[in-house]
Amino acid sequence: MGSLNGVELIKIKNFEDPHGILSVLVSQGRIDAPNAKEIGEVYLVSVPRSNTTRASHKHKHLDEFFVIIEGSAKFFLLDDRKDSSTYGKKESFTLNSETGNALFIPRGIYHALVTLTDNTKCLAISNRPFDQKNPDVYKIPISKIM
């Protein structure tokens, strides 16, 4: 659990048998996996170089899960929800492909990721699909989040 209201770092459970390992990254309604109430879109972000910043924005309607499936990245968060008891507070998480965690970031929290290794791949799962005609993206300089 993060210190910002609603942010969660969730351990991903692995199910192993003689044929390999199955990891449930996000599900709807399971008690043994990161629980997404809605899944609207799943996308993969591939970043070829370390020290690259992605996002640096918030959403008013999107909640997102992030899972690093290759490499590593540091996520920086800033709570911009005026009705939150953690309004204005910052937090950071380092995720990598070996720790097996999903990071849940609810709407209203500015977030950015900075890659720590080359060829980092981040799986992102949102509760709604991206609407190109009405993008739910509100940018902020990374310096205000870090």
| Domain-embedded: residue 121 | yes
| Domain-embedded: residue 35 | no
CB 41 within 8 A of CB 125: yes
User: In CATH, what number is assigned to the domain containing residue 110?
Assistant: 2.60.120.10
- Write down the pLDDT at residue 22: 87
CB 79 within 8 A of CB 5: yes
- Write down the pLDDT at residue 79: 98
Which strands, in side-by-side order, build the sheet including 72-79?
90-96, 72-79, 109-115, 53-58, 138-139
CB 145 within 8 A of CB 111: yes
Domain that holds residue 68: 40-129+136-145
| Domain-embedded: residue 92 | yes
**Looking at the predicted structure, is the pLDDT value of residue 9 above 70?**
yes
Number of structural domains in the chain:
1
Over residues 55-63, the mean pLDDT reads 96
| Domain-embedded: residue 6 | no
| Domain-embedded: residue 104 | yes
| Domain-embedded: residue 31 | no
CB 129 within 8 A of CB 40: yes
Over residues 98-111, the mean pLDDT reads 95
Per-residue pLDDT of 79-98, as tens digits, reads 999 999 999 999 999 999 99
pLDDT above 70 covers a percentage of the chain that reads 99
Question: What average pLDDT does the chain have?
Answer: 94
Over residues 131-140, the mean pLDDT reads 94
- Write down the pLDDT at residue 69: 96
Q: What is the DSSP string of the chain?
A: --SSTT-EEEEPPEEEETTEEEE---BSS-SSS-B-S---EEEEEEE-STT-EEEEEE-SS--EEEEEEESEEEEEEEE--TTSTTTT-EEEEEEETTT-EEEEE-TTEEEEEEESSTTEEEEEEESS---TTS---EE--HHHH-
- Write down the pLDDT at residue 108: 98
| Domain-embedded: residue 90 | yes
pTM: 0.91
| Domain-embedded: residue 56 | yes
Work out the pLDDT band at 31, boundaries 50, 70, 90.
confident
